[in-house]
Amino acid sequence: MTVAERLAAFAAGLKVERVPAEVVSMARSCLLYGYGIALCGKNERTAAIGERAARSVDGGASGPATVLIDGRRAPLPSALMANTALFHARAQEDTCGTAHLGAVIIPLLTGLIEAKGAKTANLLPAVIAGYEVGGQLEAALARDTLAAGFRASALYGLIGATAAACRLLELDATVTRHALAHAVAFDGGNAQTIAEGSDEWRFQLGMAGQSALSAVELAMVGSVGAREAFEGKFGFARVFAKRALATGDLDALGRDWIQMRVMFKPYPVCAHNQSAVAGAIAMRPRLSGAEPDRIEVHVNPYMVPGMTLKGPFSRSSETLLSTPFCVATALVRGRVEIADLDVHDDVAVQALIEKIEVVSNPAIGYPASEIFYYPRKGDVIRHAERVTPMDYTFGLDRTLAQLRRMAGDLGIAPRAMDGLNAFVMALPDGNLDLLRDAFAAHAP
């Protein structure tokens, strides 16, 4: 079997009853978290831009899919543009390795249920298929594709979303294989936008969702895809990772479930900055006002562009990526919240930023970190956040608790988050009206 055939057979044949119960429960958590983070992002600039762009593209035309930020019904492609921007607006969506798969997969599946009459009973297996296909490829190739300049969320999000959509629509393995091959042909998404902290990365996932939709539609009406789309001489691995797919790269498919390694973010910053922020907040009481000579933040060498940025800053697209900004803000304010990311003129924060160096340290595993605070007088103060992805993998109760805290801070009516939870927990018998009503309960 070619790689495309293998991935397609897995996705098309996935049955919830054959999946470990903890994996199914984690898929529910991913759905709840994805919808909840989107609900909490309705007031964000990114969400507003996505909605305005979608309205400009479709001219305000009516259609079968709900634009969740304002409830209007629109053609599916433009709803995808708006909804994916909403899911990605806080930069706090889940992370599978370094790819934000949920922010591509969940809006596409939701739109397909509305636009194509797909069954909500297929939502959980579709989510699992998408995370596993996209996540296994990310685990095998992402370090190499990032080194080549491609952003994991766009690259693997398109593949995962295509597999998920095929499973939702109950397409057979042959059509799914053709769809995956088309997705490879449409794939891309460079990381220069991350390196500069510009805005394009916020909308790359919407483009990935639209491309996934096109890949599936083309395969459904008979377009034929390359058999060796992934491993061929000019295929996915050699083009994006600059290497061949190794024997055994995908042997974990259906056995070592990627779904169980999905991370949720306590803070609205890059996944690579989560433990550094937590560490800075934890060590802050021990500093006792000691003036630093320098501060070192040690992280795994698997770094994304933008982490070493020191400013000057003008957008949260820059600050949430910048490890010096995030750590300095945490040390000065004891928190890093959405509003803090847009404060670019805090003298105390800027003074600390100049003293912070990000150190690539292979002894530290991703996503752990260690901070060394060198005071002008006295001994070095250090704090290690020796975390693994599992420390950020939340069960349903913890997921709902975090979302409720966020909703309370944002003034979102409790019934809105309760509605999202009711929809997810009712699956496979979910009623999409619960979802639409939950988003309508909180107007931007």
- Give me the percent of the chain exceeding a pLDDT of 70: 100
Each residue's pLDDT tens digit, 305-339: 999 999 999 999 999 999 999 999 999 999 999 99
Mean pLDDT of the chain: 96
Smallest CA-to-CA distance from 188 within 155, 140, 149 is with 155
Rounding to the nearest 10 degrees, give the CA dihedral for residues 23, 180, 252, 150. -100
Residues 172, 134: one domain? yes
Give the pLDDT mean for 344-351: 96
Q: Which two tokens stand for residue 180?
A: 């995956």
Angle, CA 88 vertex, CA 82 and CA 90 arms, to 5°: 120
Phi (first) and psi of residue 135, to 5 degrees: -70, -35
Does one domain contain both 180 and 51? yes
pLDDT in tens, 120-152: 999 999 999 999 999 999 999 999 999 999 999
Supply the pLDDT for residue 248. 84
Question: Can you give the length of the chain in residues?
Answer: 444
Residue 292 has pLDDT above 80, yes or no: yes
pLDDT of 42 reads 95
User: Rounded CA gap, 215 and 223, in Å?
Assistant: 9
**Is 105 found in the same domain as 223?**
yes
What CA–CA distance (Å, rounded) separates 130 from 149?
23
Q: 73 and 185 share a domain?
A: yes
Same-domain status, 250 and 379: no
- Cβ burial, residue 231 (10 Å; 0-12/13-18/19+): middle
Residue 341 belongs to domain with CATH number? 3.30.1330.120
The domain that holds 156 is classified in CATH as 1.10.4100.10
CA nearest 109: which of 442, 398, 435, 394?
A: 435
Burial per residue of 37-70, b for 16 or more beta-carbon CB atoms within 10 angstroms, e otherwise: bbbbbbbbbbbbbbbebbbeebeeeebbbbbbbb
What's the domain count of the chain? 2
Residue at 272: amino acid letter: H
Average pLDDT over residues 5-16: 97
pLDDT at 444 over 70: no
The 10s digit of each residue's pLDDT in 139-190 is: 999 999 999 999 999 999 999 999 999 999 999 999 999 999 999 999 999 9
The two tokens of residue 175 are 């059509």
Q: Do 244 and 308 belong together in one domain?
A: no
Pairwise CA distance, residues 35 & 86, whole Å: 10
- Looking at residue 61, the DSSP 8-state letter turns out to be -
417 DSSP β-pair partners: none
Range of the domain at 119: 3-264+393-440
Give the pLDDT confidence of 30-43 residue by residue, as tens digits.
Answer: 999 999 999 999 99
pLDDT score for 112: 98
Last residue of a domain, one of 353, 369, 390: 390
pLDDT digits (tens, 9 = 90+) for 64-99: 999 999 999 999 999 999 999 999 999 999 999 999
Give the DSSP per-residue string, 2-54: -HHHHHHHHHHH--GGGS-HHHHHHHHHHHHHHHHHHHHTTTSHHHHHHHHHH
Handedness of CA 28, 32, 37, 42 (dihedral sign): positive
pLDDT at 411 over 70: yes
Same domain, yes or no: 241 and 308: no
Pair 369, 408 in one domain:
no
pLDDT reported for residue 70? 95
Shared domain check, 227 and 359: no
**Domain end position, chosen among 354, 369, 390:** 390
Q: What is the pLDDT of residue 147?
A: 95
Average confidence (pLDDT) over 392-413: 94
User: pLDDT grade, residue 288 (50/70/90)?
Assistant: confident
Give 208-266 pLDDT, tens digit per residue: 999 999 999 999 999 999 999 999 999 999 999 999 998 789 999 999 999 999 999 99
Question: What does the pLDDT look like over 190-212, one tens digit per residue?
Answer: 999 999 999 999 999 999 999 99
- Phi first, then psi, for residue 215 (nearest 5°) are -60, -45
The model carries a pTM of 0.96
Asked if 186 and 42 sit in the same domain, the reply is yes
Same domain for 425 and 400? yes
**119 lies in the same domain as 229:** yes
